């Protein structure tokens, strides 16, 4: 197994330090000013043509070698989360309430390390666009980049991205063709009742009771309206109403998160949720206002590109390091917007599954430095395989 890439080994120490520096200075979506500056400086130094200005803080590094016309795009996300870090690490966040709890610091540095190796060795024939994207966490940086024309300005034959994944063995590369990450929709519900004195409920329409009934009834959509073979999740994540025990509120609010791994199921959920909420509210003499917004789309990996990427991993590392047909995830990912426009593959890199492993978005989460070179090396191997030299 010829895993090591000498150039990457030479810069491993520097790249770990850089990862820690980014980790200590997390920036939220569309505010990745220092992070993108740091990325752009290095890309320029290594001879990349650098484009900035898309989606506030995006950076695109372009490198062309040979005369080939094929183009590959590789994307990394750069944003942190509004979380108070509790890792106790020497390089923990210096900014209270902001934290790299999803490992995007690692994604950024993996792609930078690959950029170094591709610029200094590893001949290929064609063009590589390294896309450093802002605001993956809920703010749809990918959608904004596409709306601002990233794939028109930098057309790609295929696009790829990876996520570090806790709960999977360190460094294993995981692939799945087809639907891989769930769609995410958010429903903002207001129940309008009729407020009044808490001692005289018969003169009111209590929106809290209406909400309680709706919340219980919503559970039956997943259990009774969607096939047990299909994944679907409805979570009422927030309920707000009233301020005092002896006052019946005028209205109540709920925020609901909806996930699916199939667009037909997604449509079905929307229809059932709206119908159920309106009917329930009406049954109690209340009314409902529903703002149903589509967040991230279903992430669908192209079958051919997934097979290609998995084969590159197997040729490089051997079959034991590659997991094929892994189970899809209920989480969502805005790389889905890129995959709506261009064939490609989103893969995972195991972040470790030991006792210390915790979920991403946990205040104790940290990207595993052991997988830095694995991720960077894969991007190098993938680029070489996608843009092969002429025989
Ligand atoms: Zn995340
Ligand atoms: Zn993430």
Give me the residues paired with residue 196 across strands.
Answer: 248
* Ion ligand 2 nearby residues (CB, 5 A): 102
386 alpha carbon – ligand 1 mean position (Å): 28
Q: How is residue 81 annotated by DSSP?
A: B
pLDDT the model gives residue 356: 76
Q: In whole angstroms, what is the distance from residue 78 CA to residue 195 CA?
A: 47
pTM: 0.93
138 alpha carbon – ligand 2 mean position (Å): 10
361 alpha carbon – ligand 1 mean position (Å): 6
- Sequence ranges of the chain with CATH classification 3.30.70.360: 183-296
* 3-state secondary structure labels for all residues of 285-310: CCEEEEEEEECCCCEEECHHHHHHHH
201 alpha carbon – ligand 2 mean position (Å): 47
Q: In whole angstroms, what is the distance from residue 355 CA to residue 197 CA?
A: 53
The answer to whether 352 and 164 are in contact (CB under 8 A) is no
Q: Could you give the 3-state DSSP secondary structure of residue 236?
A: strand
Q: What is the pLDDT along the chain (391 residues), one digit of tens a residue?
A: 346 789 999 999 999 999 999 999 999 999 999 999 999 999 999 999 999 999 999 999 999 999 999 999 999 999 999 999 999 999 999 999 999 999 999 999 999 999 999 999 999 999 999 999 999 999 999 999 999 999 999 999 999 999 999 999 999 999 999 999 999 999 999 999 999 999 999 999 999 999 999 999 999 999 999 999 999 999 999 999 999 999 999 999 999 999 999 999 999 999 999 999 999 999 999 999 999 999 999 999 999 999 999 999 999 999 999 999 999 999 999 999 999 999 999 999 999 998 778 999 999 999 999 999 999 999 999 999 999 998 8
137 alpha carbon – ligand 1 mean position (Å): 6
User: Which ligand neighbours the alpha carbon of 104 most closely?
Assistant: 2
pLDDT the model gives residue 2: 46
**Radius of gyration from C-alpha coordinates of the chain:** 24
Question: Cα-Cα-Cα-Cα dihedral of 49, 77, 345, 143, to 10°?
Answer: -90
* Angle subtended by helix axes 33-45 and 6-24, to nearest 10: 160
What is the CATH topology of the domain spanning 183-296?
Alpha-Beta Plaits (3.30.70)
* Ion ligand 1 nearby residues (CB, 5 A): 102
User: Which ligand neighbours the alpha carbon of 81 most closely?
Assistant: 1
User: Which ligand neighbours the alpha carbon of 184 most closely?
Assistant: 1
Which one, of 350, 358, 339, lies nearest residue 301 by Cα? 339
Q: With residue 366 as reference, give the H or E element that holds it.
A: none
What is the CATH topology of the domain spanning 3-181+298-386?
Aminopeptidase (3.40.630)
Q: Which residues contact 250 (CB under 8 A, 6 or more apart)?
A: 192, 193, 194, 195, 207
The answer to whether 365 and 358 are in contact (CB under 8 A) is yes
The pair phi, psi for residue 197, each rounded to 5°, is -75, 135
- Sequence ranges of the chain with CATH classification 3.40.630.10: 3-181+298-386
173 alpha carbon – ligand 2 mean position (Å): 16
254 alpha carbon – ligand 2 mean position (Å): 26
Q: In whole angstroms, what is the distance from residue 79 CA to residue 389 CA?
A: 35
Question: Cα-Cα-Cα-Cα dihedral of 114, 118, 120, 122, to 10°?
Answer: 120
* Edge-to-edge strand list for the sheet holding 251-260: 232-241, 251-260, 183-192, 287-294
364 alpha carbon – ligand 2 mean position (Å): 15
């Amino acid at each position: 197994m010829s895993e090591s890439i000498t150039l990457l080994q030479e810069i491993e120490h520097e790249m770990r330090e850089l990862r820690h520096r980014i980790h200590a200075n997390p920036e939220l979506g569309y505010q990745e000013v220092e992070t993108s500056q740091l990325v752009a400086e290095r890309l320029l130094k290594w001879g990349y043509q650098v484009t900035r200005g898309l989606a506030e803080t995006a950076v695109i590094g372009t490198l062309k070698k040979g005369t080939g016309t094929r183009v590959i795009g590789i994307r990394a996300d750069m944003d942190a989360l509004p979380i108070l870090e509790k890792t106790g690490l020497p390089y923990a966040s210096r900014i209270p309430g902001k934290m790299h709890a999803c490992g995007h610091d690692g994604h950024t540095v993996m792609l930078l390390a690959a950029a170094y190796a591709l610029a200094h060795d590893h001949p290929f024939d064609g063009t590589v666009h390294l896309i450093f994207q802002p605001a993956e966490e809920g703010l749809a940086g990918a959608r904004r980049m596409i709306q601002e024309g990233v794939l028109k300005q930098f057309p790609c034959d295929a696009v790829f991205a990876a996520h570090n994944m806790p709960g999977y063995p360190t460094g294993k590369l995981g692939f799945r063709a087809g639907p891989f990450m769930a769609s995410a929709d958010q429903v903002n519900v207001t129940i309008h009742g009729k407020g009044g004195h808490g001692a005289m409920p018969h003169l009111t329409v209590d929106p809290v009771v209406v909400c309680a009934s709706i919340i219980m009834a919503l559970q039956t959509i997943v259990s009774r309206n969607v096939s047990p073979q299909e994944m679907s999740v409805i979570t009422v994540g927030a309920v707000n109403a009233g301020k005092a025990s002896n006052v019946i509120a005028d209205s109540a609010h709920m925020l609901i998160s909806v996930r699916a791994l199939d667009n037909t199921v997604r449509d079905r959920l929307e229809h059932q949720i709206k119908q159920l909420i309106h009917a329930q509210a009406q049954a109690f003499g209340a009314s409902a206002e529903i703002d149903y917004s589509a967040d991230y789309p279903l992430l669908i990996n192209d079958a051919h590109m997934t097979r290609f990427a998995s084969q590159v991993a197997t040729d490089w590392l051997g079959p034991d390091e590659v997991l094929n047909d892994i189970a899809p995830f209920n989480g969502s990912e805005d790389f889905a917007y890129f995959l709506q426009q261009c064939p490609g593959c989103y893969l995972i890199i195991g972040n470790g599954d030991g006792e210390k492993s915790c979920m991403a978005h946990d205040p104790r989460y940290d990207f595993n430095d052991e997988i830095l070179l694995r991720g960077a090396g894969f991007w190098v191997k993938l680029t070489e395989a996608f843009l092969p030299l002429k025989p």
